Amino acid sequence: MPDEPLELGEVSTADWYAHSDTMNQVGFLTIARRLPSLVRQALAMAWRASRRDTAITMVLQILGGVFTAFGLLATTGVLTALFEQGPTPERLRAALPSLALVGAAAALRTAVQAGAGWAQARLGPQISRESEQRLYGLTSSVELVAYDDPDFHDSLQRASSRGVDMADSVVWSAIDVVTAAVGIVAVAGVLGVLHPVLLPLLLLAVLPDAWAAVRGARMRYSTMNSLIPVRRRKWIIADLLADRSPAAEVRSFTMRGFLLRMYDAVARAEQEVLLRLARREALARVGGEALGGLGSGLVYVALGVLLALGAIPLAVAGTAVLAIRTGQSALTQLLYATNRLYENGLYFTDFLEFCADAERRLTGPRPAAPPERFERISVRDVAFTYPGTGTPALNGVSLEIKRGEVIAFVGENGSGKTTLSKILAGLYEPDSGAVLWDDVDLRHVSPGAVRERVTVIAQDHTRWPLTARYNITMGTDRGEPALHAAASVAGAAEVIDELPHGYRTLLDRRFKDGQELSGGQWQRIAVARGFHRDAELLICDEPTAALDARAEHALFERIRDHSGGRTVLLITHRLASVRYADRIYVLDHGVIVESGDHASLMALNGLYADLYLLQAAAYQM
């Protein structure tokens, strides 16, 4: 129905402007106060990326400013000699020493600026690598619960979409600010020597441009910041239209027209906002340039008045013209660099704030070590609530798992089975209560040390765009026997034998010579990955969801036969698969309501018996 109103969820026109005026209230003094901090942060990142290139860039840029000032002062000597009374050849000869100094200053300035440009160009890729390593180092180490927090997602979106890309731009802008400031100091010193009144006149020519540049930066940042939810929705819809995973369902449900309508609605509204921004920026820029032209005219009128009054000689006036033009260029460069530094710095600040927030979410040092071979795992009164929700996913859960047991968690959807398994795997930490390995409280143990001793085979496993070998070993080389044994136990060996390049086959059809597997074949690869890790605790969360009945039965037989003393935790809705578990815990709304083996739970005639008999009746029919 093409006329049906679209429900866009968090994206609505009114919401886009909820904070759009926040940055527009920022004044020039605020920018001036933030500027030293931005320069310091940018140069600190450059220093971490490459101390040598940063030092070379700064030293050579400062030398360039010194040579600029030296050249202007030498120009005064040239003009003084040329404007003296006497024959022209004698005046030219008198000007030659100063001309040589001007030429030498120009040559040296060109050389040092070329060297500074070379060092600055080297900094770019090094800064990009430094910022990307910091971002992805944090995103891959932050606790998993952060990804369940919508605020974290928004912050990550801002940091990754533009923040990290602005790191090198901010550093370049900071260097340009320092360079332009050095140039202005050099010109200001020359103008101060020539005549003190010339320096304040210089400001009249560029302050209007500064106002326009700063106002444009505020408008652009506030608009782009308000469009973040919109663009995220647009990218999500674009993925649905262009990605491989939903392609079949898009076609089978004939969703093309609906998705295109939704995409066009979001894109058209975004376009209107950007067009409105372009108009506002153009008006601010035209106004600034008009006022800037008026200021430049006043500067030259004032210089003419000084000449007419005899306040400065003609030679000094000529040098002043050159100095003012040089100063205008340097001050314009400073304002442009300041504007760019402020605008890019707003996005760079998003990156820095995300990194600071992510660092606060990291687990601090924990000195305790888990036991090498635990005898029991105790869960004591554990509670857990996902961020942004008011209902606990787990509430007062207690249980015990002994070494070598096969334990099963069962229950309806949303009962807390997977959440509890993630707490046992060290992926989540409980809000209250404790998980102990023997007598060691895992709150005192590094999560990484726990995860090294746990293997999770998940239903929603990742289909890594790597070779079959790396999909099983995950970069850990335990040798060929361990690789082949894991593949054989999981039933993945026969899948890999049919691949054109065996274990060296790339499992992603988006790449040349890449192969795609079926859902069941991918699940066997995931199971092989779990067996290859050879961990003390094996957690199987719906490991057979994509397998047929025969393959499912064979897999559970393999898990029982090849557990090799491992403690196995099974999570499944297919209750026939857990009949032989040593103990079954039944969860309902985050609480354990029943526990025992299959026979005792059937005799109890409670929730487990209801679910089991319901499934059994379907098979009998």
Assign 3-class secondary structure to 13-80: HHHHCCCCCCHHHCCHHHHHHHHHHHHHHHHHHHHHHCHHHHHHHHHHHHHHHHHHHHHHHHHHHHHH
- Taking 70 as the threshold, does the pLDDT of residue 621 lie above it? no
For residues 360 and 142, the answer to whether their CB atoms sit within 8 Å is no
Considering the entire predicted model, what is its pTM?
A: 0.67
Distances in Å between the Cα of 18 and the Cα atoms of 223, 344, 606 are 11, 22, 52
Q: Which residue has the higher pLDDT, 281 or 545?
A: 281
Tokens representing 559 are 């898990």
What residues contact residue 580 under an 8 Å CB cut-off, 6+ apart? Answer: 406, 560, 598
Residue-wise DSSP of 492-536: -HHHHHTSTTGGG-B--TTSTT-----HHHHHHHHHHHHHHH--S
594: which strand partners?
Answer: 586
For residues 380 and 433, the answer to whether their CB atoms sit within 8 Å is yes
Highest mean pLDDT, choosing among 215-224, 254-263, 325-334:
254-263
486: number of Cβ within 10 Å: 23
Highest mean pLDDT, choosing among 34-38, 160-164, 445-449:
445-449
Distances in Å between the Cα of 59 and the Cα atoms of 35, 115, 116, 170, 171 are 21, 10, 8, 19, 15
pLDDT score at 165: 76
Residue-wise DSSP of 339-401: HHHHHHHHHHHHHHHHHHHHHHTS----BB---SS-SEEEEEEEEE--TT-SS-SEEEEEEEE
What's the average model confidence in pLDDT over 434-450? 88
What residues contact residue 262 under an 8 Å CB cut-off, 6+ apart? Answer: 6, 8, 237
Q: Cα–Cα distance between 216 and 311 in angstroms, integer?
A: 40
Highest mean pLDDT, choosing among 258-267, 471-480, 604-613:
604-613
Q: Give the tens place of pLDDT for each residue, 373-413.
A: 888 999 999 999 988 788 899 999 999 999 988 899 998 88
What's the average model confidence in pLDDT over 564-570? 82
For residues 393 and 422, the answer to whether their CB atoms sit within 8 Å is no
pLDDT score at 18: 35
Confidence category of residue 228, pLDDT binned at 50, 70, 90: confident
Q: Give me the sign of the Cα torsion angle 497, 500, 505, 506.
A: negative
Confidence category of residue 37, pLDDT binned at 50, 70, 90: confident
What's the average model confidence in pLDDT over 453-475? 85
Domains and CATH numbers, the chain: 33-224+296-360 (1.20.1560.10)
Q: Which residue has the higher pLDDT, 97 or 417?
A: 417
The three-state secondary structure class of 604 is helix
Tokens representing 87 are 């024959």
Q: What are phi and psi of 378, to 5 degrees?
A: -115, 130
Residue-wise DSSP of 108-138: HHHHHHHHHHHHHHHHHHHHHHHHHHHHHHH
What's the average model confidence in pLDDT over 504-511? 85
pLDDT score at 23: 45
Q: What are phi and psi of 569, to 5 degrees?
A: -115, 120
Q: Cα–Cα distance between 54 and 229 in angstroms, integer?
A: 37
- Taking 70 as the threshold, does the pLDDT of residue 94 lie above it? no
Convert 284-315 to b/e letters by CB count within 10 Å (16 or more is b). Answer: beeebeebbeebbeebeeebeebeeeeebeeb
Highest mean pLDDT, choosing among 110-114, 238-242, 418-422:
418-422
Among residues 232, 221, 220, which one has the least CA distance to residue 10? 232
Among residues 410, 397, 422, which one has the least CA distance to residue 147? 422
pLDDT score at 432: 93
- Taking 50 as the threshold, does the pLDDT of residue 22 lie above it? no
Distances in Å between the Cα of 258 and the Cα atoms of 134, 232, 254, 365 are 40, 18, 8, 51
Q: Output the average pLDDT for the chain.
A: 79
What type of residue sits at position 479?
A: G
The three-state secondary structure class of 3 is coil
Q: Percentage of residues in the chain with pLDDT exceeding 70? A: 81
CA angle 67, 318, 290 (to 5 degrees): 90
Q: Percentage of residues in the chain with pLDDT exceeding 90? A: 9
Convert 132-143 to b/e letters by CB count within 10 Å (16 or more is b). Answer: eebbeebbeebb
Q: Give the tens place of pLDDT for each residue, 460-469.
A: 788 888 889 9
- Taking 70 as the threshold, does the pLDDT of residue 1 lie above it? no
Q: Cα–Cα distance between 130 and 46 in angstroms, integer?
A: 9
Confidence category of residue 83, pLDDT binned at 50, 70, 90: low
- Taking 50 as the threshold, does the pLDDT of residue 475 lie above it? yes
The three-state secondary structure class of 454 is strand
129: number of Cβ within 10 Å: 13
Q: What are phi and psi of 584, to 5 degrees?
A: -120, 130
pLDDT score at 393: 92
Q: Cα–Cα distance between 81 and 101 in angstroms, integer?
A: 14
The H or E element spanning position 461 is: none
Q: Cα–Cα distance between 160 and 64 in angstroms, integer?
A: 36
